[in-house]
Amino acid sequence: MLFILQILQFQMTLALETTIEISENAKIWSDIQLSSPNNTYILKIANTVTYQYYAINIELHKQDDTFSLHYGIGKTPQFSLILSEISEVQGFDFYGYLENRFTHFILLSSDTFNSQQVYISTSSEWTQNYNITVTGTNEKMCPNNCSNQGSCQDGKCLCNKQYIGNDCHQKATYIEQNKEIFLSLENTVKYAYVDLEESKNQTMSLIVKTNSSEGVDLYIMKTRVLYIPALEDLNRKYYDQLVEGNAVQLDYPIEFELYDRNDNSTQIQKRVRFILKQKSPVEQNILISFDLINHQTQNTISTTTVIIVVATIAGVIMILSISFAIGKYFRNKKIKETLSALAQVRQMQHEKKYTAKSFDEEILEQLPQIQNDHIKNTDVCPICLELYINKPDLRSTKCKHLFHRECILVWIYINKNCPTCRQDLKIHMNHQRNQQNT
């Protein structure tokens, strides 16, 4: 292989050099090259020409995986076609060669050579016919006119949906956010992509699964190159520069965060591109699923949920606080009323103003008498504050509180709530007779 390349380079030095003349009246130069594997062209630009860029475009008559396009400033280009030594550098149609394309393209800037001699070279191991065109322009042209499937912006193609590549030539599956996408892989290379421009600078991650028992190779492209026929020929260092390899297994789906890997321009769609290949040489139908998760959307939903929960809790706390305040107000009011009634009862007892009413018996029927056998000698009546044992006739309310008979009668005359717990004593009296006796 190396010997053949050396012969090709030697033949190039002996090849007839063709002059490409660009002038104001003829800004486009074209030619059909027949029956010659290697050619060298000299770009001759008239002194009066001030074009900013020069686009070199070649269309092959047949596919040739050994064909390459180069240029050199001030001398014929020196190059190597050994895959492990090729890098994406100025002077070489990187995409056309690695993707084995029918079209090859280089865009030269006049600032690059500054009136120096420019040499353009083509190389192939076989006799190859092709059309070559050189165009002078003040705008950055795009390769292959973006295959009529995108628009050209600043020398790069802004591809329409479902198309990827440096010239939008390749159809691919578009992976949508928060929607599971399925792709069938039938012993062929399949492409998929995620458009980062639609993520609104949010963090996203992709989960990839497969039903293949042997697994699937997933390559994340670091350049705009889409297909490299001989990935296995690349050394590890160069392989890592072009792609990031992942193995998707049946029981081990992979998940990774996405970020732009190949284009810092804000004018070009930022897409993360994937190549999927079967591991087995045997043709089989493999199903691959993609689940693109937008974390910021999830965080937004989570934040909204938190806000709702916090607002609900705050509302409940506010209602409880108001209820507690209202309850406390009425409790304090009842306590004040009770204390006032208690003071009034004690005053009446002290001044002996209370006289038994005709409805006393009616009240006592609702207040059962309690034996004082189990009453402690130290227990006192809450109304008169005297010992229970001093007045043996004790009465119990429905709330199970004990009072002297005379004390509870006077109390009920003023207040119908228990003086201890302030519950309604539910005492029923004949009001008509009550009014007659008062």
Whether 135 and 196 share a structural domain: no
Whether 12 and 132 share a structural domain: yes
CATH number at residue 106: 2.60.120.380
Q: List Cα–Cα distances, 223 to 99, 263, 341, in angstroms.
A: 12, 8, 92
Q: Which pLDDT tens digit goes with each residue over 232-274?
A: 556 666 677 778 888 888 888 888 888 766 665 555 678 888 8
Tokens of 140: 């950055």
Q: Is residue 316 part of a domain?
A: no
For the chain, give the mean pLDDT.
79
Tokens of 338: 């009770």
Q: Is the pLDDT of residue 135 over 90?
A: yes
User: Of the residues 298, 313, 328, which one is the last residue of a structural domain?
Assistant: 298
Q: Is residue 306 part of a domain?
A: no
**What is the rounded distance in angstroms from the CA atom of residue 141 to the CA atom of residue 145?**
8
Q: Is residue 367 part of a domain?
A: yes
Q: Is residue 318 part of a domain?
A: no
Q: How many domains does the chain have?
A: 3
Q: Is residue 332 part of a domain?
A: no
According to the model, what pLDDT value does residue 339 have? 73
User: Of the residues 280, 298, 316, which one is the last residue of a structural domain?
Assistant: 298
The mean pLDDT value for 79-93 works out to 65
Q: Is the pLDDT of residue 9 over 50?
A: no
Q: Is residue 164 part of a domain?
A: no
Whether 377 and 288 share a structural domain: no
Query: 202, 296 in Cβ contact below 8 A?
Result: yes
Whether 6 and 135 share a structural domain: yes
User: Of the residues 273, 298, 323, which one is the last residue of a structural domain?
Assistant: 298
Whether 131 and 177 share a structural domain: no
**What is the rounded distance in angstroms from the CA atom of residue 346 to the CA atom of residue 343?**
5
Statement: the pTM of the whole predicted model exceeds 0.85:
no
Whether 118 and 7 share a structural domain: yes
Cross-strand bridge partners of residue 217: 247, 277
Q: Which long-range contacts (CB under 8 A, 24 or more apart) does 242-247 make?
A: 243/219, 243/275, 244/219, 244/220, 245/217, 245/218, 245/219, 246/208, 246/217, 246/218, 246/219, 246/220, 247/215, 247/216, 247/217, 247/218, 247/279
Q: Is residue 336 part of a domain?
A: no
Q: Is the pLDDT of residue 163 over 90?
A: yes
Domain that holds residue 292: 170-298
Q: What would you measure as the largest C-alpha separation in the chain, in angstroms? A: 143
Whether 103 and 16 share a structural domain: yes
Whether 182 and 291 share a structural domain: yes
Query: 196, 215 in Cβ contact below 8 A?
Result: no
Whether 287 and 175 share a structural domain: yes
Tokens of 2: 């190396």
Q: Is residue 158 part of a domain?
A: no
Whether 137 and 6 share a structural domain: yes
CATH number at residue 369: 3.30.40.10
Whether 212 and 271 share a structural domain: yes
Whether 127 and 177 share a structural domain: no
